[in-house]
Amino acid sequence: MRALPFSVRSSQDKRVDAEIEVGLVILRHPSEPLPWLIASDNKTMIARFPQPRWCTLSRWQSPDADPRQFAYVPMALMVPEEGEEAPAELPIVIENRDPRLIELVISDARRLVTADFGIVHASAPDTMLYEQRGLEVSGSQFGPSFISFSLTVAPILDYPHPGDMITEERFPALYTT
């Protein structure tokens, strides 16, 4: 596996927002009243004191028309090697910023934590380039500075259509009007 950092704002080859890909993650647990919203981009400052807080504003899966605040957390994807033996999961490593997030991801042995993962451009955070909903969180680990977990794509394998079919569920951006 190779690490693919999502902190592309500092990348030299992607200078305009239209080229910057942003990862959005929504983590849900039955014991939490609201989902955790995490983004890989620090486009908008939402607080200055007591410490600066950054986020990405997006209407992705917003229950109303208002944009939701996806908190900026540095993250990296661990992209599996290509081939038939590649695991059906996507490992993600995020910076350890909140002990409650560790409890949410690590303490779950029954796989109650589910996640939705999406990729957008920084210039258009409401338009999904790629989206996958209903993933299961597994294989959690943590250290003093990181939390790592995998998003298993087992629910994708149960998809009723072949993977090469372009349907509205798999490619919602193609069906926007």
Residue 131 has pLDDT above 70, yes or no: yes
Q: Percent of the chain at pLDDT above 90?
A: 0
For the chain, the domain total comes to 1
Torsion angles phi and psi, residue 172, rounded to 5 = -65, -30
Torsion angles phi and psi, residue 103, rounded to 5 = -60, -40
**Domain of 74?**
2-175
pLDDT digits (tens, 9 = 90+) for 75-101: 887 766 666 666 778 888 888 877 777
Torsion angles phi and psi, residue 29, rounded to 5 = -140, 140
- Name the one residue in this structure whose structure tokens are 């258009």: 124
Residue 69 has pLDDT above 70, yes or no: yes
Per-residue pLDDT, 8: 47
